[in-house]
């Protein structure tokens, strides 16, 4: 990348939405086809709202809606839009860099992509309630698995005015979240908001957390007073009509992009084996020193994990939590595998039925 192309990328009308050299490169062949790049700010029933260099475009997703729910267009995706035509079509979804996925509650047991191309997965935890470390670990697994960098925001920090008490709480969360920054914030006193704003100004962020975790208050602190203006903008659509649109992807006044979709509340893991491994990095590291490589850390001799619990360097709660999430993940994977097997069997039955019909027809014809 040379300097002139770098400045060309920063001057791009979509730079505020996260457009960079990498996307420009991936989009080059689409540009040759006369398509426009755009970022999806909202998705609903077969259509999506896309910000493009020529403004907000409502595009049909018919061409890019595969049967695989993991590949369905979602907020945060970059797409190549064909703006000539009525309706306008999203022709291609650019390869996602990261994807935040949860398991749906449905019987089909499928993954659902909540947001794409997220850089920071911010786990909001309210200090108004007692810390639930297990829940934080679950969110962390989801965040690591997405490919985004997790960050824990301890909201309502003003409710813990005692500095020593606050530092203990931060430490508790830090030991639960190796490799993750833990930041106390308060939108009442403004504590930590500047630092937080600076972190999220570089890229796309998603706020995760249960309801009451302070996500909206934190989002408002980042968005300032313009929140309604930003979220519901009057746009001119393709036919010159003025319409009011709600966006789930917002450009922050201080830089960066915030994705706020209603679905982000769910926390079911989805095939998060490596995510779980990253949350419990120290346990997986200890396990490498167990005498048996398939050690279950139960009663095996020479178990390094049990030794760490014995000498107090590893809290037993961590191992329990680790086991729980590993089991949960295995259950989901097994369920998915069962579904895939069932689908393969159905396909096979269909094909063999077709084959039999073909053979019957052939025999009938040769008679």
When binding is defined by CB under 5 A, the residue of 125, 290, 319, 325 that contacts Zn ion is 290
Q: Taking the complex as a whole, how short is the minimal distance between the CB of residue 283 and Zn ion, in angstroms?
A: 9
CB 221, min distance to Zn ion, A: 45
The gap from C-alpha 102 to its chain's centroid, in whole angstroms, comes to 8
Binding status of residue 319 toward Zn ion by CB under 5 A: no
99: tokens are 């994807």
Regarding 305 and contact with Zn ion (CB under 5 A), the answer is yes
The two three-digit tokens of residue 283, written as one number = 């346990």
- Cβ-based nearer residue to Zn ion, 102 or 297: 297
Place of tokens 């329990």: 320
Binding residue for Zn ion, selected from 39, 88, 215, 297, defined by CB under 5 A: 297
25 versus 310: smaller Cβ distance to Zn ion: 310
Residues in binding contact with Zn ion, number by CB under 5 A: 5
Q: How far is the CB of 99 from Zn ion (least distance, A)?
A: 33
Q: Taking a C-beta distance cutoff of 8 angstroms, is the pair 173, 136 a contact?
A: yes
Strand 249-251's sheet: what is its strand order? 181-184, 149-155, 120-126, 204-208, 257-259, 249-251
Q: Residues 185, 219: contact at Cβ < 8 Å? A: no
Binding of Zn ion at residue 295 (CB under 5 A)?
yes
Which one of the spans 10-18, 47-55, 197-205, 297-305 is the region binding Zn ion (CB under 5 A)?
A: 297-305
User: Given the complex with Zn ion, which of 11 and 299 has the nearer CB atom?
Assistant: 299
Q: Could you count the other beta carbons within 10 Å of the beta carbon of residue 26?
A: 15
CB of 295 to Zn ion, least distance (A): 3
Cβ nearer to Zn ion, comparing 232 with 281? 281
Binding of Zn ion at residue 42 (CB under 5 A)?
A: no
Picking from 112, 174, 190, 175, the residue whose alpha carbon sits closest to that of residue 146 is 112
Whichever of 270 and 322 has its CB closer to Zn ion, that residue is: 322
In this chain, which stretch among 58-66, 111-119, 140-148, 305-313 interacts with Zn ion, using CB under 5 A?
305-313
Query: Are residues 28 and 5 in contact, defined by beta-carbon separation less than 8 angstroms?
Result: no
Tokens of 303: 């178990």
Task: Rank residues 226 and 310 by Cβ distance to Zn ion and give the closer one.
Answer: 310
C-alpha 200/C-alpha 142 separation (Å) is 19
- Comparing CA positions, the residue from 20, 16, 17, 18 lying closest to residue 5 is 20
Nearer to Zn ion, 127 or 290 (CB): 290
Measured between its terminal Cα atoms, the distance across the chain in Å is 70
CB of 305 to Zn ion, least distance (A): 4
Our CB check for Zn ion shows the closer of 169 and 305 to be 305
DSSP state of 180: -
For 123, 124, 143, 166, the CA distances from 160, given in Å and listed in that order, are 19, 16, 26, 6
Per CB under 5 A, does 118 bind Zn ion? no
Among 154, 303, 308, 319, binds Zn ion (CB under 5 A): 303
* Residue 87, preceding peptide bond in cis (omega within 30° of 0): yes
Q: Which is nearer to Zn ion, 70 or 304 (CB)?
A: 304
DSSP-H helix ranges across the chain? 3-10, 21-32, 133-146, 163-176, 193-200, 215-223, 227-231, 273-279, 281-287, 304-310, 316-366
Tell the smallest beta-carbon distance from residue 304 to Zn ion (Å). Answer: 6
Minimum distance of Zn ion from residue 276's CB (angstroms)? 17
Pairwise CA distance, residues 14 & 39, whole Å: 8
**Considering only 134-142, 197-205, 241-249, 295-303, which stretch makes contact with Zn ion by CB under 5 A?**
295-303
Q: Which is nearer to Zn ion, 273 or 300 (CB)?
A: 300
Positions that interact with Zn ion (CB under 5 A) = 290, 295, 297, 303, 305
């Amino acid at each position: 990348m040379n300097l002139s192309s770098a400045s060309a990328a920063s001057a791009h009308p979509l730079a505020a939405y996260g457009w960079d050299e990498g996307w420009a490169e991936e989009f080059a062949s689409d540009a040759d086809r006369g398509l426009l790049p755009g970022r999806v700010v909202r998705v609903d029933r077969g259509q999506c709202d896309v910000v493009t260099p020529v403004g907000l475009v409502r595009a049909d997703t018919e061409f890019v809606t595969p049967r695989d729910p993991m590949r369905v267009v979602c907020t945060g995706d970059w797409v190549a839009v064909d703006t000539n035509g009525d309706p306008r079509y999203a022709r291609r979804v650019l390869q996602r860099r990261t994807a935040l996925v949860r398991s749906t509650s449905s019987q089909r047991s499928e993954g659902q992509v909540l947001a794409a191309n997220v850089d920071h997965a911010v786990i909001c935890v309210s200090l108004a309630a007692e810390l639930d470390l297990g829940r934080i670990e679950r969110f962390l697994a989801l965040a690591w698995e997405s490919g985004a960098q997790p960050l824990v925001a301890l909201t309502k920090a003003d409710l813990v005015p005692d500095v020593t008490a606050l530092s203990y709480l931060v430490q508790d969360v830090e030991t639960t979240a190796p490799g993750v920054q833990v930041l106390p914030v308060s939108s009442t006193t403004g504590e930590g908001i500047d630092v937080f704003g600076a972190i999220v100004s570089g890229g796309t962020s998603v706020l995760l957390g249960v309801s009451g975790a302070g996500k909206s208050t934190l989002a408002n602190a980042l968005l300032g007073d313009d929140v309604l203006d930003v979220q519901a903008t009057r746009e001119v659509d393709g036919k010159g009509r003025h319409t009011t649109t709600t966006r789930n992807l917002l450009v922050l006044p201080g830089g960066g992009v915030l994705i706020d979709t209603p679905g982000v509340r769910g926390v079911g893991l989805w095939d998060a084996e490596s995510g779980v491994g990253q949350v419990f990095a120290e346990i997986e590291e200890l396990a490498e020193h167990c005498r048996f490589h398939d050690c279950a850390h139960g009663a095996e001799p020479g178990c390094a994990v049990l030794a760490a619990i014995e000498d107090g360097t590893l809290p037993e709660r961590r191992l329990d939590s680790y086991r729980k999430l590993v089991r949960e993940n295995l259950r989901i994977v097994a369920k998915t595998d069962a579904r895939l097997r069932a689908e393969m069997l159905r396909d096979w039955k269909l094909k063999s039925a077709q084959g039999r019909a073909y053979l019957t027809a052939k025999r009938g014809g040769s008679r």
